[in-house]
A and B are shown apart, each in its own frame.
Chain A
Amino acid sequence: MKRKWIIGILVIVAVGAILAVVFINMFTNKSTDAMAKNLDQAVSEGYLCETSDEYGVLNEYFEEVSSALAAQSDEEQKVTLNCQKLYVSLTKEAKILNSQLAFSEYTNVYKNSNKKIENLLKSAQKHANDAKAYIQSTKNLTNPSQYWTAGTWYECKDMITKMIADTNNALRSIAEVYKAGVNSKLFNNKLSSLIFETEQNLADDVLKDLKVAGAADGIYNFTQIYFSSTSLEIIMSYQYDSTVKDKVDEILNAENRAESPAYLAFLEGNLS
């Protein structure tokens, strides 16, 4: 009799456990809103917003410090110029990703990278805040001395390069979430993937050695073409344009992409 009761209880516990798993799975939040809100926070009012304090202060600082460094260190001046162009480029890319992320599906890619992206964006925002605070606190002390202005760079450099590196890593992961989760073929297609992939390669190349003169010119020009306010129309035109589709296929199938004429033309914004 006692054995029967134990078996009965075990059956009920097993059924209960299965039901609990099913219900937990059903009611787990499977929306991508959390990531969309995090990115939107940075893009609409944080350090990735073109009208924010951080963006304004940092860009003004880049202008001043690169001019001040001209007489002190040629190498460091190149770093500041590259950092500025990279920062501007990543800001524009983030804006484009942000416009579609709210409409993406919940996927495993999202699930696996949500926390990481949140931490990267938080970290980048913190570095931006720290850099802004430092720049503002030293502005009156150094101005108008070019010598002392140049000196601030050695304090700021670490914060700014970390901010850029975190942003770059976050955007790479967001681009993966975008690729896996945005259903719209008008916004998520072979061309959009190629554009995000190229942006990533160009950013990585710059970050490998920030001291190379004009290292960020490529990503800066590429961003102006594909991540400007009208660039979504370029991406959207892919679905309706067989010439563009052929060009993209040619690039994707090229044995040596870097030397493919179609790829070089694509970098210049020529897809037709």
Chain B
Amino acid sequence: MKKILLSVLICLLFGFTCFTTFGCEKAATPEKVVASYDQVTKFYEQKNEIFGPNHQIYFGNAQTLVDSANTDYSVLLSKYSSIFTTSSSYIDEYMIHVSGLQAETQTKNVQSALQKLNIAISEYLKELKAFAIQHDYFAQRDFSDLENSKPFLQSYKIYLGKMVAKNVEVTNSLANVLEESKIYEVLKSEENAIIEDVVVIRKYIRAKLLPVYARFLITETESNVSWTTSNKDTDASHRIDDAIANMQTSFTGDYQTTFIIGTTPKDSSIHNVVKLMDYCADFMTEANDFYKALEGLKIPILAKNYKNNLENYQKKNKLAEIYLEKIEQFINVSLKTFINEVYDLLF
């Protein structure tokens, strides 16, 4: 009997040791995260022919080509560029505060958020390098003829999209880390916040909103499928084109006005951070439904396999129409209302 129990105990101990040794990565510390991001900064410096000051991307040959040919790609490059600049400037401003999160005050939530941030940074660096290789390849060859260059431009666009999407993930993970910090805990309960506090919250919401834009404008559609150039013109494609256009308008309009342009919200005495954070939390729950709708609809499959024919696609994906309606309603109503309400509270 003793032998059996001993054998079971040894097996359990062996399993536990294996799990803790190989199954879990070591926890990320603030120092480790900052050091990881330093590698990114160094890479920017090494590749200064691609990454300029204030997070400008020099597209080089690709830009010259799309400008001369006056194609949709030009719009795409500027679209990615503006998301990249917005996202990177947040990282620049707030990464430094990660080092201020002392190890002794860390909670499990902070540790988990730091771990996710560290993973996001390493994945971003990987995509950054992949994009740089693609860029160099473009720079070294002659792609002056647009028709011959289209496959390369398409590939370039995908690498760029992945890189920008990963950059946005870093921003989102960084915002999540800071949200877990003690200072945010205090800040979140302010019903009469001072302007400096409101500025921090404004930037926090700005960071939390970025993935919503990036997910639709980059990850789900344009990085996966050459949406505007190669697909059949249908009612569904028009609806998705409209949704993309509305999302883009929201990003360049409402989002910029509320979260980027200007620095000082008016009269500090009316700023209710509790309300702002409540609005934000509710909106993020709504955003999860939007992500679910994007995952459920699977736009690339609708475009490639079903040539944008929603009726045929519904035979396979019964809830496709529901998902598409949710995407439209989220962009046209939820997002718009949320930003307008935040604007009214801030200004």
Would you call B322 and A7 a contact (CB within 8 A)? no
Q: How far is the CB of B70 from chain A (nearest CB, A)?
A: 40
Given the complex, which residues of A lie within 8 Å of B325, measured CB to CB? 99
Contact mask A201-232 → B, CB, 8 Å, 1/0?
00000000000000000000000000000001
Q: Beyond A4-B1, A8-B4, A240-B279, is A103–B293 a contact (Cβ under 8 Å)?
A: yes
Given the complex, which residues of A lie within 8 Å of B288, measured CB to CB? 183
Q: How far is the CB of B277 from chain A (nearest CB, A)?
A: 13
| In the complex, B286 has a CB within 8 A of chain A | yes
Given the complex, which residues of B lie within 8 Å of A102, measured CB to CB? 292, 296, 319, 322-323, 326
In the complex, A102→B318 CA distance in Å? 11
| In the complex, B179 has a CB within 8 A of chain A | no
Which of these, B3, B8, B321, B329, contacts A44 with CB under 8 Å?
B321
Main secondary structure of the interface of A (DSSP, over half): helix
| In the complex, A11 has a CB within 8 A of chain B | yes
Given the complex, which residues of B lie within 8 Å of A239, measured CB to CB? 279, 282
Would you call B319 and A240 a contact (CB within 8 A)? no
Given the complex, which residues of B lie within 8 Å of A41, measured CB to CB? 318
Main secondary structure of the interface of B (DSSP, over half): helix
Chain B, range 317-347, C-beta contacts under 8 Å to A = 318-319, 321-323, 325-326, 329, 333-334, 337, 341
Q: Which single residue of chain A is at the shortest CB-CB distance from B345?
A: A240
| In the complex, B190 has a CB within 8 A of chain A | no
Which of B285, B289, B322, B334 lies at the interface centre, i.e. has the most chain A CB atoms within 10 A of its CB?
B322
Given the complex, which residues of B lie within 8 Å of A115, measured CB to CB? none
| In the complex, A233 has a CB within 8 A of chain B | yes
Q: Which single residue of chain B is at the shortest CB-CB distance from A33?
A: B319
| In the complex, A257 has a CB within 8 A of chain B | no
| In the complex, A191 has a CB within 8 A of chain B | no
Given the complex, which residues of B lie within 8 Å of A247, measured CB to CB? none
Contact mask B40-58 → A, CB, 8 Å, 1/0?
0000000000000000000
Q: How far is the CB of A107 from chain B (nearest CB, A)?
A: 16
Q: Which single residue of chain B is at the shortest CB-CB distance from A101?
A: B322
In the complex, A8→B326 CA distance in Å? 56
Which of these, A183, A184, A236, contacts B337 with CB under 8 Å?
A236
Given the complex, which residues of A lie within 8 Å of B286, measured CB to CB? 184-186
Which of these, A7, A36, A232, contacts B329 with CB under 8 Å?
A232
Which of B289, B323, B341 lies at the interface centre, i.e. has the most chain A CB atoms within 10 A of its CB?
B289
Given the complex, which residues of B lie within 8 Å of A184, measured CB to CB? 282, 285-286, 289
| In the complex, A245 has a CB within 8 A of chain B | no
Q: Beyond A186-B334, A239-B282, is A99–B1 a contact (Cβ under 8 Å)?
A: no
Q: Beyond A103-B293, A184-B289, is A98–B282 a contact (Cβ under 8 Å)?
A: no
| In the complex, A37 has a CB within 8 A of chain B | yes
Q: How far is the CB of B229 from chain A (nearest CB, A)?
A: 31
Which of A99, A186, A232, A237 lies at the interface centre, i.e. has the most chain B CB atoms within 10 A of its CB?
A186
Chain A, range 80-105, C-beta contacts under 8 Å to B = 98-99, 102-103
Q: Beyond A99-B326, A102-B323, A103-B293, is A233–B333 a contact (Cβ under 8 Å)?
A: yes
Chain B, range 1-30, C-beta contacts under 8 Å to A = 1, 3-4, 8
Given the complex, which residues of B lie within 8 Å of A237, measured CB to CB? 337
In the complex, A41→B292 CA distance in Å? 20
Would you call B4 and A240 a contact (CB within 8 A)? no
| In the complex, A166 has a CB within 8 A of chain B | no
Q: How far is the CB of B288 from chain A (nearest CB, A)?
A: 7
Would you call A7 and B285 a contact (CB within 8 A)? no
In the complex, A143→B279 CA distance in Å? 59
Q: What are the 7 tightest A-B residue pairs by CB atom distance, in nearest-first order?
A: A103-B289, A185-B282, A240-B341, A102-B322, A184-B286, A37-B318, A8-B4
A and B contact pairs by CB, cutoff 8 A, 25 listed: A4-B1, A4-B3, A8-B4, A11-B8, A40-B319, A41-B318, A44-B314, A102-B292, A102-B296, A102-B319, A103-B289, A103-B326, A184-B282, A184-B286, A185-B285, A185-B286, A186-B334, A232-B333, A233-B333, A236-B334, A236-B337, A237-B337, A239-B282, A240-B279, A240-B341
